[in-house]
Amino acid sequence: MIYGLIAVGYTMVYGIVGMINFAHGDIFMVGSFLSLIALLSLASLGITAVPLALALTLLFAAGLAALYGWTVERVAYRPLRGSFRLAPLISAIGMSIVLQNFVQVGQGARVKPMNALLPGGVELMNDEGFAVQLSWMQIAIVATTLIVLAAFTWLVTKTPLGRSMRACEQDLKMAGLLGIDTDRTISLTFVIGAALAAVAGLLFLLYYGVIDFFIGFLAGVKAFTAAVLGGIGSLPGAVLGGLLIGLIEVFWSAYFSVEYKDVAAFAILILVLIFRPSGIMGRAEVEKV
Amino acid sequence: MNLLSLRGVSTFYGAIQALRDVSLEVEEGEIVTLIGANGAGKSTLMMTVCGNPRARSGTIVYDGRDITQVPTHLIMRQRIAQAPEGRRIFGRMTVRENLVMGAEVAGHTDIAPLLDQVCDLFPRLRERLTQRGGTLSGGEQQMLAIGRALMAKPRLLLLDEPSLGLAPLVVRQIFTAIRTLNRETGLTVLLVEQNAHQALRLAHRGYVLVNGTITMAGTGAELLARPEIRAAYLEGGH
Ligand SMILES: Nc1ncnc2c1ncn2[C@@H]1O[C@H](COP(=O)(O)OP(=O)(O)OP(=O)(O)O)[C@@H](O)[C@H]1O
Ligand SMILES: [Mg+2]
C-alpha cells in the first residue's frame, strides 16, 4: 500500500519529464523524519488527541516535503532540461545523496524509534486460538492510502490542473502552444509527488515505529519496482504495482524467510525488466534512449 | 495596421541556423501564405512566432507589443492559435477535451457555442466527441487539430500544412472555411501549404522561403505568375 503512494510519484515524474527521479525515495525518508519531528513536538506541546495530532503532522510533513520536492526540481533538474538524457539522472542521484547526508548530519545516523500511537485492533475471527487480527494502525494506513489515492485520481482526471498535467505528459511542446505554463506544471508535479511521498513516510513511521536516514533507498527501490511492474507512466499501474509488491513481500515472508524479503523486490524488478519492460498496464512505447 | 511583424529574425537549433534575417508582415484581416521547399524553415518560422524555439536575434511584434521574449504560454493567451505541423493532438484525451483546451487558452468560458461552430465545420468531430484522440483516423486528427485552433476564436491563426493527409474534398472545405472566416470575422491567417497553387489563390499575399531566407514576396496572383515559382513549386501542379 505504502509503496503505491511512492510509486505514483515516480510514475508521474517519469510520465511528464521522462526521467527517473532518484531523489524521490529520499523525499519519502525526509517526509518520515518530518512526521517524527512534528509528532514529538506536538506531544511536547501537549497536543495528544491522536486524530488532531495526525492531521497536523500530515499537513506539516506533506507541506514541507512538497517544498523539498519543488526545490529539488528547481535546483537539480530544471537547469538541465534540454541537455543530454543522462544529465538529470546523474543530478538525481546526487540529490539523493545530498538528502541522505543532510538528514544523517541533522538527525544522526542511529535509528529513531517511536511509540505506537494507535495500539489495539479488531479481531476479525477467532477460531480456536487461530485469530485473524487487524490492528487499528493497519486500518488507518489502508484508509489513508485509499483516500489520498482517490483524491489524487480525482485531481488528475477531473480538474484543469490535472488536465494540464496530462497535456504536459503527452506533448510538452503542444501544451505550451495551448497556453499551459509548462514549467509551473512540472514544478507542481514534483510538489504533488513529494507530498504523496511524505504521506507514505508518515504511514511508514506509524507502522514500523523506527526510521533512519537510509529507509529512502530501500523503499525507493521497491516503489520504483512497483511503478515498473505496473507500467511506468501509468498511474493506475503504479497503485496496482504497489499493492502487488506489498502482497508479494507478505507472502514471501510467510513462506520463505523474512530476512530475504528485500530480495524479492529486486528479483521482481529484474524479471519485469527482462520479460515485460512495459509493465502490466504500460503502453508499448518506442524507447527513446 | 500590422497585426504581426518580424524584423530581422534569426533562429538556431544548436549550431544549425534555420532562419536568417527574416522580415515579414501580416496585416490585420489578411491571409498570408508562406511557401518553400522541405526544410526551408517554414515550420520554424511559425514556431518562432510562438517563442519555441526562441528567436536569437531580431524582433517579433504582435498587436503593437514586442513578444520576442515573452514566454510561449503567455503569447498563446493573446489570441494567437497554431495548428502545428504533425497535428500534435493529445492522443490519450477525448476529442472534447482536446477542443476544450483550445478554447480555454483564450479564456473562453462559454464553450458550448464554440464547440457547436467547430462541429458544424467538421461534422465528423461531433460524432466522435467522446472518442480518444489517438483513435481517430489521420484525416480526422487533422480536422481536430484545426478545430482545436479555431476553438480559441483567434485573431491570428497559424496553420502549418492543414491539408496534409486530407481528401481533396475536405481540403476544399477547409480552404472555403478559412476564406469565410476571414471575410466574415476578419480572421488573420498565416498559412504554410505544400499545395502552393491553392494556397496562393487563397492568400492575399505570399512569401517564398529558401534555406531560411525570404527571397520573394508579393500578392498571390503576382507570385502565381512568376516563372521561377511555377518552375520550383507548381510544376506538375493543377
Ligand atoms: N528540432 C530541431 N533540431 C534541429 N534541427 C531542426 C529541428 N527542427 C528543424 N530543424 C532543421 O531546421 C530546418 C528547417 O526546418 P523546418 O521544419 O522549419 O522546415 P519546413 O520548411 O517546415 O519543412 P517541411 O516542408 O518539410 O515541413 C531543417 O533543416 C531542419 O532539419
Ligand atoms: Mg514544416
**A178's grid cell:** 495551448
Mean pLDDT is highest, among A38-42, A265-269, B131-135, for B131-135
Strands B31-36 and B205-210, bridge-based pairing: parallel
Q: Are residues B140 and B181 in the same domain?
A: no
So what's the pLDDT on residue A273? 80
- Domain count for chain A, please give it: 1
The residues pairing with A131 across neighbouring beta strands, listed in sequence order, are A126
Q: Are residues B10 and B26 in the same domain?
A: yes
Q: Are residues B44 and B160 in the same domain?
A: yes
A242 inside domain:
no
Q: Are residues B71 and B161 in the same domain?
A: yes
On chain A, the residues whose CB falls within 8 A of the CB of B104 are 160, 178-179
- A286: pLDDT confidence band, cut at 50, 70 and 90? very low
Q: Are residues B75 and B166 in the same domain?
A: yes
Q: pLDDT tens digits for chain B (238 residues)?
A: 799 999 999 999 999 999 999 999 999 999 999 999 999 999 999 999 999 999 999 999 999 999 999 999 999 999 999 999 999 999 989 999 999 999 999 999 899 999 999 999 899 999 999 999 999 998 899 999 999 999 999 999 999 999 888 888 888 888 998 999 999 999 999 999 888 888 999 999 999 999 999 999 999 999 999 988 888 887 654 4
Choose one of B154, B186, B201: the last residue of a domain: B154
Structural domain boundaries enclosing A33: 2-119+134-225
A162 inside domain:
yes
Q: Are residues B48 and B143 in the same domain?
A: no
Pairs across A and B, CB distance < 8 A: 54
Query: Which H helix or E strand runs over B2?
Result: strand B2-13
A124 inside domain:
no
Ligand 1 contact, B231 CB (< 6 A) = no
Q: Are residues B75 and B50 in the same domain?
A: yes
Ligand 1 contact, B44 CB (< 6 A) = yes
Distance, CA B44 to ligand 1 centroid (Å)?
6
* Residue A289 pLDDT > 60: no
A286 inside domain:
no
**Nearest ligand to the CA atom of B16:** 1
The mean pLDDT of A45-66, rounded to a whole number, is 84
Candidates A159, A170, A178, partner chain B, best to mutate (most B CBs within 10 A): A178
A108 inside domain:
yes
Candidates B78, B79, B101, partner chain A, best to mutate (most A CBs within 10 A): B101
pLDDT higher for B103 or A39?
B103
Ligand 1 contact, B142 CB (< 6 A) = no
Distance, CA B92 to ligand 1 centroid (Å)?
27
- Ranges of H-type helices in B32-137: 42-49, 72-76, 95-104, 111-121, 123-127
pTM given for the model: 0.86
A104 inside domain:
yes
Structural domain boundaries enclosing B146: 85-154
Q: Are residues B223 and B127 in the same domain?
A: no
Phi, psi at A229, each rounded to 5°: -60, -45
Measuring CA to CA, how many Å separate B19 from each of A87, A215, B11, B16, B212?
29, 52, 5, 9, 4
For residue B46, which atom of ligand 1 is closest to its CA?
18
**Nearest ligand to the CA atom of B36:** 1
ipTM score: 0.93
CB atoms closer than 10 angstroms to residue A202:
28
The mean pLDDT of A42-55, rounded to a whole number, is 79
pLDDT higher for B138 or A284?
B138
- A280: pLDDT confidence band, cut at 50, 70 and 90? confident
Distance, CA B135 to ligand 2 centroid (Å)?
24
- Domain count for chain B, please give it: 2
- A3: pLDDT confidence band, cut at 50, 70 and 90? confident
* Residue A85 pLDDT > 80: no
So what's the pLDDT on residue A116? 64
Q: Are residues B8 and B45 in the same domain?
A: yes
A171 inside domain:
yes
Which of A178, A181, A182 minimises the CB distance to B101?
Answer: A178
User: pLDDT, tens digit, for every residue of A128-162?
Assistant: 666 666 777 778 888 888 888 889 889 988 999 99
Chain mean position to CA A44: 29
User: pLDDT, tens digit, for every residue of A87-117?
Assistant: 777 887 888 888 888 788 777 767 777 766 6
Residue with cell 495551448: A178
pLDDT higher for B26 or A222?
B26
On chain B, the residues whose CB falls within 8 A of the CB of A179 are 73-74, 76-77, 104-106
Q: Are residues B89 and B73 in the same domain?
A: no
Cβ contact B79:B156 at 8 Å: yes
Residue nearest to atom 4 of ligand 1 (CA): B13
Choose one of B117, B132, B154: the last residue of a domain: B154
- A285: pLDDT confidence band, cut at 50, 70 and 90? very low
Nearest residue on chain B to A168, alpha-carbon basis: B90
Cross-chain Cβ contact A179/B76 below 8 Å: yes
Q: Are residues B20 and B130 in the same domain?
A: no
**Of A32-36, A192-196, A208-212, the least confident:** A208-212
Distance, CA B160 to ligand 2 centroid (Å)?
7
Choose one of B154, B185, B204: the last residue of a domain: B154
Nearest residue on chain B to A167, alpha-carbon basis: B90
Q: Are residues B232 and B188 in the same domain?
A: yes
A159 inside domain:
yes
Phi, psi at A49, each rounded to 5°: -60, 115
**A206's grid cell:** 506509524
